[in-house]
Chains A and B, each alone.
Chain A
């Protein structure tokens, strides 16, 4: 996961795009070290230190990772797209922004 996400973030630098995490790890300090080591530069919401935290509970997420792709209006457009399919989904939505301008 990390290498693909790193390259996606790098490829879309400067474009209207953001990768946001919702992290359910237990230990914040340990997580910071992992993020540094893995080159995870994107921002994450803190799910309260548990997979049963408030954000994943409200979103009814029970398997990890779970992916949602939102368009520039905040509408959920894709769920659980990974790898190339994630890139294609993001590219299609970026194209929509260009076309609406």
Chain B
């Protein structure tokens, strides 16, 4: 009788604690997919409210404030998406959430991007959506992104994802060749791999093979220390002229457009 009494007294707080902790820690009633869609909807709704407020105010200070919120608001949402991905690592919503974080971080530099890429590489490398993610990450030159691209090249079962990762990594090596010795050779090797193995994978309006072949030509012949290849073309008025007409002068070549 006495033993029973003690047990029930002890059990009550434990039961309360359990409900309290898990009730807050995760929305057990909702599937991860529902949680994901609700967060996306909440984010969009805040975005819409902000654009409406921006249009309706004429106060410059207020406009600056709203614009700042719009560019940084993703950072507040990222940890919540990361939580869905870590609570339900095998769900479809996990990949959606991680992709959301990376896309958002690409624009506003989220500190959750690194962890998101790590989880994607460890648990979801077979997902076919990684191809478009790799394309998006091409110009985001960070160690996290490069580690991620290497895992996709080695382990994705999808050719287009491997090809895109290979091309994106080649691009990053080329862009950092000036400050990191050795990256030039790595870029050339990766571009050659794209030409040999992934030439037909589509990219923008063309394919990866043409882009990689163009980049290979450029890394070999249009690099610092090389004589610039000749340009012969018309000027804006239709008069033909050549780059070599300007030999003997220092020349700034500016690829430009009025847009």
Contacts and interface: CB of A to CB of B under 8 A. Distances in A.
Tell me whether A and B are bound partners.
yes
Interface of A: 1, 5, 8, 16-25, 28, 31-32, 34-35, 43-47, 51-52, 54-61, 64-79, 86, 90, 93-94, 97
Interface size class of B (residues with CB under 8 A): 35 or more
Nearest to B257: A24
A76 B256 contact: no
Complex A-B, nearest 6 residue pairs according to Cβ-Cβ distance, in ascending order: A60-B218, A66-B255, A45-B233, A68-B253, A93-B250, A16-B249
A25 B259 contact: yes
Given A59-B218, A74-B227, A23 B233 contact: no
Contacts of A23: 236, 256-257
Contacts, number: 150
Among B178, B205, B250, B257: residue with most chain A CB under 10 A:
B250
A73 B227 contact: yes
B253 A20 contact: yes
Given A16-B250, A47-B233, A67-B255, 17 more contacts: A16-B249, A20-B251, A21-B254, A25-B259, A43-B235, A45-B231, A45-B241, A52-B205, A55-B231, A59-B255, A66-B254, A72-B250, A74-B247, A75-B226, A76-B224, A76-B225, A94-B250
Among A17, A20, A28, A43: residue with most chain B CB under 10 A:
A20
B34 to A, nearest CB: 40
Given A24-B257, A34-B258, A57-B214, A90 B250 contact: yes
Interface string B111-129: 0000000000000000000
21 contacts: A21-B256, A22-B256, A52-B205, A54-B233, A55-B233, A59-B229, A60-B214, A65-B255, A68-B222, A68-B228, A69-B250, A69-B253, A70-B252, A72-B248, A74-B228, A74-B247, A74-B251, A75-B228, A76-B223, A77-B225, A86-B252
